[in-house]
Amino acid sequence: MTALLASVRSDAEALDAAHAGAELIDLKEPNAGALGGLSIGDIRHIVRQLRARYPVKPISATIGDVPADALDEIATRVIEVSDAGIDYVKVGVAPGPSARRCLELLANLPAAVVPVLLCDGGMDGELVASAATLGFVGVMFDTAGKDGSTLFDHVDSASLAQWLRLTQERGAMSGIAGSLGWAQFQQIRALAPDVAGFRTALCVDGRRSRLDPQRVAQWATALHRPAGDLGGTLTAAEFGAADTTRL
């Protein structure tokens, strides 16, 4: 079964997403970029509110959009976010000359880091292999640009399947995100990642608008349904707004 990661920006959204069936609550600020970070104070507040109602619900948070060569800043932010009480710290890493060094730094920090490999324009298979061997708790594949294209527009399904399998074989959690909507549902199900992450697909009117608990519940139902029970029987309600619901 693929778990649903819901990206939220407030305690109200976090509680709504958890109640609607999201397995992993991800804290970020969509107004500040693809992996925009919330303030440490906001993270602590949301964690307190969520833990009071859902004490074992996993929580992740992003550090913000930081260049891969800003190693000192990355290290500082990772520790600050980790110390705010979350379970997983998400850090975006794009292919480039500093990517390998960034991954090595992240692997040696005293925090449960999940590198988010940003696949805009493609992904370096050697970088994926490196990430898989460094002992991270998880590896996700995502996009930095929110321009209407999806993860599958930048990376073919065969490559993604290979990379997800490599990640899982190393004992890490595998995940995908990147402007995913109902049009990509069958591809998501075929890949069967451990986690699929969404923001705009769960919102009323774009990724910067309010998260809609009903959409969270629809995605949770669809992702959790056994593959043998699919048979093209998703309801109109589950398909919601079709292609207009993207991350």
197, pLDDT greater than 60:
yes
The secondary structure element, H or E, covering residue 229 is none
- The rounded distance, in Å, linking the Cα atoms of 79 and 91 is 12
234, pLDDT greater than 80:
no
Compute the CA torsion angle 176, 146, 64, 85 (nearest 10 deg). -50
242, pLDDT greater than 90:
no
Q: pLDDT higher for 244 or 206? A: 206
The model's pTM: 0.92
The residue segments making up the domain with residue 139 are 3-244
Q: Which residues are catalytic?
A: 28, 90
- The rounded distance, in Å, linking the Cα atoms of 124 and 155 is 10
Tell me what the mean pLDDT of segment 90-111 comes to.
98
- The rounded distance, in Å, linking the Cα atoms of 18 and 162 is 31
Q: Quick one: pLDDT at residue 33?
A: 86
Tell me what the mean pLDDT of segment 93-104 comes to.
97
> What percentage of the chain carries pLDDT values higher than 90?
86
CATH code of residue 110: 3.20.20.70
Q: Quick one: pLDDT at residue 236?
A: 38
- The rounded distance, in Å, linking the Cα atoms of 7 and 14 is 8
Q: Return phi, psi of residue 132, to 5°.
A: -70, -25
CA distances from 213 to 6, 105, 168, 243 (A): 10, 37, 30, 18
The CA-based angle 67-88-137, given to 5 degrees, is 95
Number of domains observed in the structure of the chain: 1
